[in-house]
Amino acid sequence: MLETVKTSNLGYPRLGEKREWKQLLESYWRHEIDDHQFEIAAKRLRLLNLQKQLAFGVTHIPVADNSNYDHVLDTMAAFNLVPERFGSYNRPLHLSEYFAVARGTDKNVPADMTKWFNTNYHYTVPEFDHTQPRLLDNRWLRYWQEAKDALHIDGKPVILGPVSLIKLGKINGTYVTEADHINTLLDQLLPIYGEVFQQLAAAGVSWVQLDEPTLVQLTHADDVLPYQKMAAYLHRVAPTINIVLQTYFDAIDPFEAVMKLPVQAIGLDFVHDHGENLKHIQQIGFPKDKILAAGIIDGHNVWASDLTEKVQLAKTLQGYAPKIWLQPSNSLLHVPITTKYEAARDDTIYHALAFADEKIKELGIIAKACNQQDVTKALTQNQQALNHLKLAPFRHHPNVKARVNALDESQFKRKSDYHTRQKIQAAALKLPFLPTTTIGSFPQSATVRAKRAAWRQGKLTDQAYDMFIASEIKRWIRLQERIGFDVLVHGEFERTDMVEYFGQKLGGFLATKNGWVQSYGSRAVRPPVIYGDVYYQEPITVDKSVYAQSLTDKPVKGMITAPLTIINWSFVRDDITRATVQNQIALALREEVLNLEQAGIKIIQVDEPALREGLPLKVRHWQAYLDAAVAAFKITTTGVQDQTQIHTHMCYSDFDDIIDTITNLDADVISIETARSRGEIIAAFERTHYTKQIGLGVYDIHATRLPNISEIAANIQRGLQVINPKQFWVNPDCGLKTRTEEQVIIALTRLQAARDRVVLKHQEA
C-alpha cells in the first residue's frame, strides 16, 4: 500500500543516552583528548543518533542538527560572524577557536548568551558589529555527506534561516529589530546562504529544513517581506533544492502572507499554537502545491500523546493538505532521549512517559493509521497507559485542591509596604554600604559529586554523607568570612540542581534516573516530572540554613527556588492548567519560607530566574502569564514578618518588557545578570524609577576568564549611575556551582576588593 503520510524529525538530542557528548566535551576542555580523538568520538555519536532514527522509520531524518556547543554558534562560525575581539578568519575555525567564542579566554569575554525563545536552552547571541560575513565552512554539506556515505541516508540538513539569525543577534548591544538593519544584514548574508544551497544542490541534496522560528513573532503581513526576499533569493539560486520552512513554539499570525512564500513545504506547530494554526487552515486553507509539515507531537513535554486524538488531528489536517509530513512540534533537543532507563520506576507513570525515542515511535504509529495500516494494538495500549495514570489515586490530593480554592487576598500581600519594611530590615540587619553577597551556589567539585554518587549507590551512609555536606558548608562559611562578604550562603552542596532538588522533596514530583536535557554547552539538567498534585512533605532547606547560620554572626540567606522557575524547568502534568500547578507549588513553598523564618533565618532568597524566559512569544498572552507569576511569587513570600528580607534573582532577561512585573513581585531585593551583557540591561533601570533594592551582577560566572578588580569596579560604577547607592548590592551574575574553587575564591576576592575601592571613592567624594 502506498504510504502517503510521511514522518519527519526536526532535531535529535545531542547529549547521548548516558551523556556521552557532555563527557566528551569536558574531556577535551581538560586536555585529556586532542582534536582528532574528539572528532572520532563525536562522529560515532552522530552516526548512532542517525541509526536510531533510521531504525524507527523516520522518512526525513535531520542532519547537521548536531553541534559541538550550540547551533547558533555553529552558524556564526560557519559564516565568520564571530565577535571582532576573537578575530576574523579565512578558514574554518579550529575547535579551540570555536570554544573560545562560547567560553571566553584570558583576554576576551565570551559572546553573550541568552535563552532560546521561551525554553531553558541557551543560545550564543550573534554580534553584528564590524563583522565581515563569508562562508568558512559548509557544515551542512559535510554532515549530509557523512550520513550518506556511512548510512546511505539522504538526510535533511537543518540550517537556521538568515532572518531569524539576524533577529536573534545584536548591533551595538541592542537586538536587531529595525527594518533597515535587517535588510542591510540580509543583503550581506543571502549570498553566503546562496553558496551553501548551491553546494548542497550540486551534491544532490533533496530537502533542506530552513528554521525561521521568528515567523511566529510577526503580527502583520508587511513583517513577512524579509522572509519573502530570502525565500525568493534561495529559490532563484538553488531551484532544485526543496525547502521546508520550519516554524515552532506558536502560531503564525500573518498566515496568508507566509503561505505564499516560494517554498515547497511549511512546518507548523499544532501543539503550542493555542489552536490558532488549525483555525487558520480551516478558515483560510492550505496551499495545494505545498507539503504541510505538521508538528503534532509535543516536543516540549514528556507525556505520552493520546494517539487516538492525534490520529484524528492528522486526518483532519489531511482534509486540508493532502500532502503531509507528521513531526514533533519542535526539535527534540528539549526532551530526554529514552525512557528505557526509567523502567524500574512506577509502571503507571513509566508507561505514560514519552521521551525523544518514544515520540518518534508515536509519529510512526500515527502515520501508519493515516496510511490505513492496522495499529489497533498500539492505540489500545496507549489508551490503557493514559487511563491508568488518569485514575491513579496517588495523582490526586483533595486537601491540595481545597487549599488552592481557598486562596484569598491576605495570601497575596505583605503586612506592610516596602518603605516601612525597609526601615525595619535596615535596623535589624545593620548591613554596610553596598553590601556584598553571592547568588547562592558554590562549586560542585569532583569530591562533592563523588560523595553524592557514593551515597546514592549505598556506599556511603546517610550520617557520613550529612557530615561531609556539613564540613563543606563550614569550610565555605569560613572562606566567605575571610574574603569579607556581608551576607553569606551555605553553598547548596546537597543540591544537584536548583529545580531537581526541590522536585525530589515535594510531593507530586518524580525524579527521573536519566532524563537529562541540554541547557548550554556541556551543561545538562534533569528536569523533574510533575505527575500529581504538589504538596509540602517536610522541611527542605531549613536544617542546612540553620547550621550555616550557627557558624557565623553574619546573616546567612535561606535559598529556595520560586514556583514559576520550578514549573518552567520541569515537565508539567498536562491534565490541569499550569496556573493551578503553579499555585500548588507556591502553597507548598510558602510553608518552607515560614519554617525558615521561624528557625531564625532573616534573609530568604526566592529565585525566579525563569520568569522572563517563559514569557509567551505573543504579547496578547503576556498579561495572563505575568499575573499568574506574580500571584505565585506572592503566595510563596507574603506570609513572613516585616523584618524578614525577601530576595529574588533573575538572569538573562530583557527587563524593559517586565519591569512592572518585577516591581509587583514586591521583593525587598532583586539581583539580576548584567556583566555578560556588558551592562546593557542597566538601561532598563535608566528608563524606570525603581525604588526597591537591587543587585546588578558585576562578575560573569559563565566565562572562564576572571575579571580584574578595575573591571568589576567599573561595572559597579556603571550601576551607580542609575541606582541610588542606598539601594545597591554587589554580587556575581549567577550561582557559582559550575566554577572551580580556585576561580571562585579569586573572583570573589577581587569582587570584594572592587566594592571596597568604590566605597572608598564614594567616601572621598
The torsion angles phi and psi of 243, rounded to 5 degrees, stand at -110, 130
pTM, two decimals, is 0.91
Whether 240 shows a pLDDT value over 90: the answer reads: yes
569 in a labelled binding site: yes
Q: Please check whether residue 481 lies inside any domain of the structure.
A: yes
Contact (Cβ atoms closer than 8 angstroms) between residue 271 and residue 329: yes
Residues 6 or more apart whose CB falls under 8 angstroms from that of 459 comprise none
Residues 6 or more apart whose CB falls under 8 angstroms from that of 478 comprise 551
pLDDT tens sequence across 395-423: 999 899 999 999 998 889 999 999 999 99
Alpha helices in 33-120 (DSSP H): 35-55, 71-78, 95-103
Q: Please check whether residue 26 lies inside any domain of the structure.
A: no
pLDDT tens sequence across 637-657: 999 999 999 999 987 556 667
649 in a labelled binding site: yes
* Long-range Cβ contacts of 442-447 (<8 Å, 24+ apart): 442/476, 442/489, 442/491, 442/492, 442/493, 442/736, 442/737, 442/741, 442/744, 443/736, 443/737, 443/738, 443/739, 443/740, 443/741, 443/743, 443/744, 444/493, 444/496, 444/737, 444/738, 445/740, 445/741
When comparing pLDDT for 137 and 108, which is higher? 137
455 in a labelled binding site: no
Q: Report pLDDT for 130.
A: 85
Contact (Cβ atoms closer than 8 angstroms) between residue 243 and residue 265: yes
Q: Of 187, 205, 224, which residue constitutes the final position of a domain?
A: 224
167 in a labelled binding site: no
Q: Report pLDDT for 530.
A: 96
Can you say how many angstroms the Cα of residue 228 is from the centroid of all Cα atoms in its chain?
30
Q: What whole-number distance in Å separates Cα of residue 456 and Cα of residue 474?
A: 23
Can you say how many angstroms the Cα of residue 750 is from the centroid of all Cα atoms in its chain?
30
Whether 491 shows a pLDDT value over 60: the answer reads: yes
* CA distance to 121, 239, 566, per residue, from 734 (Å): 16, 48, 17
Q: Of 160, 194, 224, which residue constitutes the final position of a domain?
A: 224
List the CATH number of the domain containing 89: 3.20.20.210
Write out the three cell numbers for 441.
551556589
Active site residues: 702
Q: Please check whether residue 656 lies inside any domain of the structure.
A: yes
User: Region 345-366: what's the mean pLDDT?
Assistant: 93
In which element (H, E) is residue 659 found? helix 659-665
Q: Please check whether residue 218 lies inside any domain of the structure.
A: yes
Domain range for 99: 62-224
User: Region 350-361: what's the mean pLDDT?
Assistant: 97
Alpha helices in 351-437 (DSSP H): 356-370, 376-391, 398-405, 418-429
Lowest-confidence region among 158-172, 598-612, 710-724: 710-724
274 in a labelled binding site: no
370 in a labelled binding site: no
pLDDT tens sequence across 151-204: 999 999 999 999 999 999 999 888 999 999 999 999 999 999 999 999 999 999
3 state DSSP class of 221: helix
How high does pLDDT run on average in the chain?
A: 93
Whether 710 shows a pLDDT value over 50: the answer reads: yes
Q: Please check whether residue 390 lies inside any domain of the structure.
A: no
Whether 120 shows a pLDDT value over 60: the answer reads: yes
492 in a labelled binding site: yes
pLDDT tens sequence across 19-77: 999 999 999 999 999 999 999 999 999 999 999 999 999 999 999 999 999 999 999 99
Whether 383 shows a pLDDT value over 80: the answer reads: yes
Whether 364 shows a pLDDT value over 90: the answer reads: yes
22 in a labelled binding site: yes
Query: How crowded is residue 523: how many other Cβ atoms within 10 Å of its Cβ?
Result: 12
Count of domains observed in the chain: 2
SS3 for 683-742 is HHHHCCCCCCEEEEECCCCCCCCCCCHHHHHHHHHHHHCCCCHHHEEEECCCCCCCCCHH
Closest CA to 664 of 615, 627, 719: 627
Contact (Cβ atoms closer than 8 angstroms) between residue 607 and residue 565: yes
Sign of CA dihedral 613, 617, 623, 624: negative
Contact (Cβ atoms closer than 8 angstroms) between residue 619 and residue 126: no
pLDDT tens sequence across 656-703: 678 888 889 999 999 887 765 555 556 666 666 778 999 888 887 877
Q: Report pLDDT for 1.
A: 43
Q: Of 170, 205, 224, which residue constitutes the final position of a domain?
A: 224
Q: Report pLDDT for 38.
A: 97
Query: How crowded is residue 385: how many other Cβ atoms within 10 Å of its Cβ?
Result: 19
List the 324-328 sheet strands across, edge first: 5-7, 324-328, 291-297, 265-269, 242-246, 207-211, 156-160, 62-63
* Long-range Cβ contacts of 452-459 (<8 Å, 24+ apart): 452/496
Q: Report pLDDT for 690.
A: 78
503 in a labelled binding site: no
Q: Please check whether residue 7 lies inside any domain of the structure.
A: no
440 in a labelled binding site: yes
Q: Please check whether residue 738 lies inside any domain of the structure.
A: yes
Residues 6 or more apart whose CB falls under 8 angstroms from that of 160 comprise 71, 72, 75, 211
Q: Please check whether residue 751 lies inside any domain of the structure.
A: yes
127 in a labelled binding site: no
